[in-house]
Amino acid sequence: MSGIRSSIAAIALAWVSALAFAQGSAGDPLAVGRQMLAEDNPGELWIDKGKQLFYAKRGPNSVSLEQCDFGMGPGKLEGAAAQLPRHFPDTGKVQDLESRLLTCMVRLQGFKREDLIKRAISPGGSSGSDVEALALYITSRSNGMKVNVSLSHQQEYDTYKAGEYLFFRRSGQTDFGCVQCHGEANKRIRLQDLIHMTDKKGAQEVASTWPAYRGAHYVVRTMQWRLADCFWQMRLPDMAYGSDLSVALTMYLNTQGNGAVIKVPGFKR
Ligand code: HEC
Protein backbone atom coordinates (compact mmCIF):
# COMPACT_ATOMS: atom_id res chain seq x y z
CA MET A 1 0.00 0.00 0.00
CA SER A 2 2.63 2.50 1.04
CA GLY A 3 4.65 1.45 -2.02
CA ILE A 4 1.80 2.45 -4.31
CA ARG A 5 1.33 5.67 -2.44
CA SER A 6 5.01 6.56 -2.69
CA SER A 7 5.01 5.84 -6.40
CA ILE A 8 1.98 8.02 -7.03
CA ALA A 9 3.59 10.79 -5.07
CA ALA A 10 6.96 10.37 -6.78
CA ILE A 11 5.36 10.56 -10.22
CA ALA A 12 3.34 13.57 -9.21
CA LEU A 13 6.41 15.34 -7.86
CA ALA A 14 8.47 14.54 -10.93
CA TRP A 15 5.65 16.05 -12.93
CA VAL A 16 5.77 19.29 -11.01
CA SER A 17 9.53 19.55 -11.43
CA ALA A 18 9.26 18.82 -15.14
CA LEU A 19 6.64 21.49 -15.51
CA ALA A 20 8.73 23.96 -13.60
CA PHE A 21 11.64 23.40 -15.95
CA ALA A 22 9.46 23.39 -19.05
CA GLN A 23 7.87 26.68 -18.20
CA GLY A 24 10.99 28.47 -17.13
CA SER A 25 10.26 31.91 -15.81
CA ALA A 26 6.57 32.06 -16.78
CA GLY A 27 4.37 33.95 -14.24
CA ASP A 28 3.84 31.13 -11.75
CA PRO A 29 5.53 28.08 -13.23
CA LEU A 30 4.35 25.77 -10.48
CA ALA A 31 0.67 26.68 -10.66
CA VAL A 32 -0.25 24.14 -13.33
CA GLY A 33 1.45 21.32 -11.46
CA ARG A 34 -0.20 22.33 -8.22
CA GLN A 35 -3.57 22.24 -9.89
CA MET A 36 -2.94 18.72 -11.21
CA LEU A 37 -1.84 17.52 -7.81
CA ALA A 38 -4.84 19.02 -6.11
CA GLU A 39 -7.07 17.03 -8.45
CA ASP A 40 -5.36 13.76 -7.61
CA ASN A 41 -4.21 14.20 -4.05
CA PRO A 42 -2.73 11.07 -2.42
CA GLY A 43 -3.66 12.61 0.96
CA GLU A 44 -7.27 11.50 0.34
CA LEU A 45 -6.18 8.03 1.45
CA TRP A 46 -5.66 9.29 5.00
CA ILE A 47 -9.28 10.44 5.32
CA ASP A 48 -10.53 6.85 5.41
CA LYS A 49 -7.82 5.84 7.81
CA GLY A 50 -8.79 8.72 10.11
CA LYS A 51 -12.46 7.78 9.91
CA GLN A 52 -11.72 4.20 10.92
CA LEU A 53 -9.60 5.40 13.83
CA PHE A 54 -12.32 7.80 14.96
CA TYR A 55 -15.00 5.11 15.24
CA ALA A 56 -12.78 2.27 16.47
CA LYS A 57 -12.79 1.33 20.15
CA ARG A 58 -9.22 2.13 21.14
CA GLY A 59 -6.88 2.88 24.00
CA PRO A 60 -6.79 1.40 27.51
CA ASN A 61 -10.49 2.30 27.93
CA SER A 62 -11.46 0.72 24.63
CA VAL A 63 -13.83 3.46 23.50
CA SER A 64 -14.25 5.37 20.26
CA LEU A 65 -13.93 9.13 19.87
CA GLU A 66 -17.66 9.51 19.26
CA GLN A 67 -18.13 11.32 22.57
CA CYS A 68 -15.42 13.84 21.79
CA ASP A 69 -16.73 17.39 21.65
CA PHE A 70 -14.94 19.62 19.16
CA GLY A 71 -17.19 22.53 20.00
CA MET A 72 -20.46 21.56 18.31
CA GLY A 73 -21.42 18.83 20.80
CA PRO A 74 -20.19 15.25 21.34
CA GLY A 75 -19.41 13.51 18.06
CA LYS A 76 -20.66 16.43 15.93
CA LEU A 77 -17.92 16.99 13.40
CA GLU A 78 -19.69 18.90 10.62
CA GLY A 79 -18.26 22.41 10.63
CA ALA A 80 -16.43 21.92 13.94
CA ALA A 81 -12.90 22.36 12.59
CA ALA A 82 -13.97 25.56 10.81
CA GLN A 83 -14.45 27.21 14.20
CA LEU A 84 -11.18 26.16 15.80
CA PRO A 85 -9.32 27.23 17.84
CA ARG A 86 -12.02 28.04 20.39
CA HIS A 87 -12.52 28.14 24.14
CA PHE A 88 -13.63 24.89 25.80
CA PRO A 89 -15.27 25.20 29.22
CA ASP A 90 -14.30 21.65 30.25
CA THR A 91 -10.58 22.35 29.98
CA GLY A 92 -10.79 26.08 30.60
CA LYS A 93 -8.49 26.53 27.63
CA VAL A 94 -8.48 27.75 24.07
CA GLN A 95 -7.65 24.69 21.97
CA ASP A 96 -6.85 24.01 18.35
CA LEU A 97 -7.90 20.82 16.62
CA GLU A 98 -4.85 18.83 17.62
CA SER A 99 -4.68 19.88 21.27
CA ARG A 100 -8.41 19.11 21.55
CA LEU A 101 -7.87 15.72 19.97
CA LEU A 102 -5.18 14.98 22.56
CA THR A 103 -7.61 15.93 25.34
CA CYS A 104 -10.15 13.40 24.05
CA MET A 105 -7.64 10.64 23.42
CA VAL A 106 -6.39 11.06 26.99
CA ARG A 107 -9.69 11.63 28.80
CA LEU A 108 -11.95 9.28 26.86
CA GLN A 109 -9.62 6.61 25.54
CA GLY A 110 -7.07 6.64 28.35
CA PHE A 111 -3.96 7.12 26.22
CA LYS A 112 -0.96 8.75 27.88
CA ARG A 113 -0.43 12.29 26.70
CA GLU A 114 3.38 11.94 26.51
CA ASP A 115 3.05 8.84 24.30
CA LEU A 116 0.63 10.57 21.95
CA ILE A 117 2.86 13.61 21.64
CA LYS A 118 5.91 11.47 20.93
CA ARG A 119 4.16 9.82 18.00
CA ALA A 120 1.99 12.69 16.78
CA ILE A 121 4.36 13.82 14.05
CA SER A 122 5.32 10.80 11.99
CA PRO A 123 8.67 10.21 10.28
CA GLY A 124 8.73 11.17 6.58
CA GLY A 125 7.95 8.28 4.24
CA SER A 126 6.10 6.36 6.97
CA SER A 127 2.42 5.53 6.83
CA GLY A 128 1.71 8.51 9.12
CA SER A 129 0.50 8.82 12.71
CA ASP A 130 -2.97 8.26 14.13
CA VAL A 131 -3.17 11.91 15.10
CA GLU A 132 -2.35 13.03 11.55
CA ALA A 133 -5.06 10.80 10.06
CA LEU A 134 -7.62 11.78 12.69
CA ALA A 135 -6.89 15.50 12.28
CA LEU A 136 -7.43 15.16 8.53
CA TYR A 137 -10.64 13.17 8.86
CA ILE A 138 -12.13 15.60 11.37
CA THR A 139 -11.16 18.65 9.29
CA SER A 140 -12.51 17.02 6.13
CA ARG A 141 -15.96 17.09 7.74
CA SER A 142 -15.76 20.88 7.33
CA ASN A 143 -14.89 20.73 3.64
CA GLY A 144 -16.88 23.29 1.68
CA MET A 145 -17.59 25.33 4.82
CA LYS A 146 -16.11 28.71 5.67
CA VAL A 147 -13.47 29.28 8.33
CA ASN A 148 -15.34 31.05 11.10
CA VAL A 149 -13.20 31.61 14.18
CA SER A 150 -14.78 33.71 16.89
CA LEU A 151 -13.05 35.97 19.39
CA SER A 152 -16.12 36.51 21.54
CA HIS A 153 -14.78 34.79 24.66
CA GLN A 154 -12.18 36.87 26.49
CA GLN A 155 -9.67 34.01 26.42
CA GLU A 156 -10.16 33.66 22.66
CA TYR A 157 -9.42 37.33 22.18
CA ASP A 158 -6.37 37.18 24.48
CA THR A 159 -5.07 34.11 22.64
CA TYR A 160 -5.48 35.91 19.33
CA LYS A 161 -3.57 38.93 20.61
CA ALA A 162 -0.80 36.66 21.94
CA GLY A 163 -0.56 34.99 18.52
CA GLU A 164 -0.36 38.34 16.78
CA TYR A 165 2.41 39.42 19.14
CA LEU A 166 4.33 36.17 18.54
CA PHE A 167 3.95 36.46 14.78
CA PHE A 168 5.65 39.85 14.74
CA ARG A 169 8.18 39.22 17.50
CA ARG A 170 11.80 38.57 16.58
CA SER A 171 13.45 35.91 18.73
CA GLY A 172 16.35 33.53 19.13
CA GLN A 173 19.93 33.49 17.92
CA THR A 174 18.96 34.41 14.35
CA ASP A 175 16.62 37.18 15.50
CA PHE A 176 13.95 35.92 13.12
CA GLY A 177 10.26 36.71 13.31
CA CYS A 178 7.51 34.95 11.33
CA VAL A 179 6.76 38.29 9.72
CA GLN A 180 10.17 38.44 8.06
CA CYS A 181 9.43 35.43 5.91
CA HIS A 182 5.64 35.70 5.75
CA GLY A 183 4.93 39.45 5.90
CA GLU A 184 5.46 40.45 2.28
CA ALA A 185 4.27 39.36 -1.15
CA ASN A 186 6.45 37.44 -3.61
CA LYS A 187 9.11 36.22 -1.20
CA ARG A 188 10.86 32.95 -1.85
CA ILE A 189 13.34 30.58 -0.29
CA ARG A 190 14.90 28.54 -3.10
CA LEU A 191 11.89 27.48 -5.21
CA GLN A 192 9.40 27.80 -2.39
CA ASP A 193 6.97 30.65 -2.40
CA LEU A 194 6.56 32.07 1.07
CA ILE A 195 2.93 32.69 1.74
CA HIS A 196 2.15 36.31 2.54
CA MET A 197 0.17 35.89 5.75
CA THR A 198 -0.47 39.47 6.74
CA ASP A 199 -2.51 39.58 3.54
CA LYS A 200 -6.08 38.25 3.73
CA LYS A 201 -5.72 35.92 0.74
CA GLY A 202 -2.51 34.34 2.06
CA ALA A 203 -3.96 33.85 5.53
CA GLN A 204 -7.03 32.28 3.96
CA GLU A 205 -4.91 29.78 2.11
CA VAL A 206 -3.25 28.77 5.38
CA ALA A 207 -6.52 28.52 7.29
CA SER A 208 -8.24 26.35 4.70
CA THR A 209 -5.64 23.83 3.48
CA TRP A 210 -4.27 22.05 6.58
CA PRO A 211 -3.85 19.12 7.20
CA ALA A 212 -2.13 18.74 3.86
CA TYR A 213 -0.34 16.07 1.90
CA ARG A 214 3.33 16.91 1.95
CA GLY A 215 4.83 15.65 -1.29
CA ALA A 216 8.42 15.74 -0.08
CA HIS A 217 7.55 13.53 2.94
CA TYR A 218 4.94 11.25 1.30
CA VAL A 219 2.75 11.80 4.32
CA VAL A 220 -0.09 13.98 5.58
CA ARG A 221 1.12 16.83 7.77
CA THR A 222 -0.79 19.00 10.22
CA MET A 223 -0.62 22.63 11.28
CA GLN A 224 1.29 21.66 14.42
CA TRP A 225 3.96 20.10 12.25
CA ARG A 226 4.11 23.15 9.99
CA LEU A 227 4.61 25.52 12.90
CA ALA A 228 7.21 23.26 14.52
CA ASP A 229 9.09 23.14 11.22
CA CYS A 230 9.16 26.95 10.97
CA PHE A 231 10.42 27.09 14.57
CA TRP A 232 13.22 24.79 13.49
CA GLN A 233 13.97 27.00 10.50
CA MET A 234 14.21 29.94 12.87
CA ARG A 235 16.59 27.91 15.10
CA LEU A 236 14.28 28.41 18.06
CA PRO A 237 13.99 25.78 20.79
CA ASP A 238 11.69 22.94 19.68
CA MET A 239 8.04 23.92 19.71
CA ALA A 240 6.13 21.76 22.18
CA TYR A 241 3.33 19.87 20.40
CA GLY A 242 -0.06 21.32 21.27
CA SER A 243 1.44 24.07 23.44
CA ASP A 244 -0.43 27.30 24.23
CA LEU A 245 2.10 29.13 22.08
CA SER A 246 1.30 26.97 19.05
CA VAL A 247 -2.43 27.41 19.63
CA ALA A 248 -1.97 31.19 19.84
CA LEU A 249 -0.20 31.31 16.48
CA THR A 250 -2.92 29.17 14.89
CA MET A 251 -5.58 31.39 16.48
CA TYR A 252 -3.97 34.44 14.90
CA LEU A 253 -3.58 32.84 11.47
CA ASN A 254 -7.01 31.20 11.30
CA THR A 255 -8.78 34.36 12.44
CA GLN A 256 -7.00 36.30 9.68
CA GLY A 257 -8.19 33.54 7.35
CA ASN A 258 -11.88 33.76 8.30
CA GLY A 259 -14.19 33.35 5.31
CA ALA A 260 -11.96 30.93 3.39
CA VAL A 261 -13.66 27.77 2.15
CA ILE A 262 -12.06 24.68 3.69
CA LYS A 263 -10.67 22.13 1.27
CA VAL A 264 -8.50 19.43 2.82
CA PRO A 265 -6.23 17.68 2.35
CA GLY A 266 -4.26 20.57 0.89
CA PHE A 267 -1.28 19.68 -1.21
CA LYS A 268 2.10 21.12 -0.29
CA ARG A 269 5.31 20.42 -2.11
C1 HEC B 1 13.24 31.70 7.55
C2 HEC B 1 11.96 31.91 6.94
C3 HEC B 1 10.74 31.51 7.74
C4 HEC B 1 10.36 31.97 8.97
C5 HEC B 1 11.07 32.98 9.86
C6 HEC B 1 9.07 31.37 9.23
N7 HEC B 1 8.70 30.56 8.21
FE8 HEC B 1 6.89 29.67 7.94
N9 HEC B 1 7.49 28.91 6.18
C10 HEC B 1 8.77 29.01 5.67
C11 HEC B 1 8.91 28.11 4.55
C12 HEC B 1 10.18 27.89 3.73
C13 HEC B 1 7.67 27.48 4.40
C14 HEC B 1 7.31 26.38 3.41
C15 HEC B 1 7.12 26.87 2.03
C16 HEC B 1 6.90 25.69 1.13
O17 HEC B 1 7.30 24.59 1.47
O18 HEC B 1 6.33 25.89 0.07
C19 HEC B 1 6.80 28.01 5.43
C20 HEC B 1 5.47 27.69 5.56
C21 HEC B 1 4.65 28.13 6.58
C22 HEC B 1 3.25 27.82 6.70
C23 HEC B 1 2.43 27.02 5.73
C24 HEC B 1 1.94 27.87 4.58
C25 HEC B 1 1.01 27.08 3.69
O26 HEC B 1 1.53 26.50 2.73
O27 HEC B 1 -0.17 26.97 3.99
C28 HEC B 1 2.82 28.39 7.86
C29 HEC B 1 1.42 28.35 8.44
C30 HEC B 1 3.95 29.07 8.46
N31 HEC B 1 5.04 28.90 7.64
C32 HEC B 1 3.90 29.77 9.64
C33 HEC B 1 5.00 30.38 10.22
C34 HEC B 1 4.98 31.00 11.52
C35 HEC B 1 3.76 31.10 12.42
C36 HEC B 1 6.24 31.47 11.75
C37 HEC B 1 6.77 32.12 13.00
C38 HEC B 1 6.71 31.29 14.20
C39 HEC B 1 7.02 31.18 10.57
N40 HEC B 1 6.26 30.49 9.68
C41 HEC B 1 8.34 31.57 10.38
C42 HEC B 1 9.75 29.88 6.11
C43 HEC B 1 9.70 30.60 7.29
Task: Give pLDDT, residue 39.
Answer: 72
Ligand 1 mutation target, pool 147, 181, 246, most atoms within 8 A of CB: 181
Please list the ranges in the chain whose pLDDT falls under 70: 1-30, 33-34, 36-38
pLDDT digits (tens, 9 = 90+) for 33-53: 667 666 788 889 999 999 999
Contact 70, 138 (CB under 8 A): yes
pLDDT digits (tens, 9 = 90+) for 166-216: 999 999 888 999 999 999 888 888 777 888 998 899 999 999 999 999 988
Task: Give pLDDT, residue 14.
Answer: 47
Measured from the CB, is residue 30 less than 6 Å from ligand 1?
A: no
Contact 267, 34 (CB under 8 A): yes
Other residues' Cβ atoms within 10 Å of the Cβ of residue 192: 11
Ligand 1 mutation target, pool 159, 165, 195, most atoms within 8 A of CB: 195
Instruction: State in Å: Cα 240 to ligand 1 middle.
Output: 17
Q: Residue of the nearest CA to atom 18 in ligand 1?
A: 192
Contact 178, 197 (CB under 8 A): yes
Dihedral angle of Cα 106, 134, 132, 262, to the nearest 10 degrees: -130
Q: What is the C-alpha to C-alpha distance for residues 67 and 99, in angstroms, rounded to an integer?
A: 16
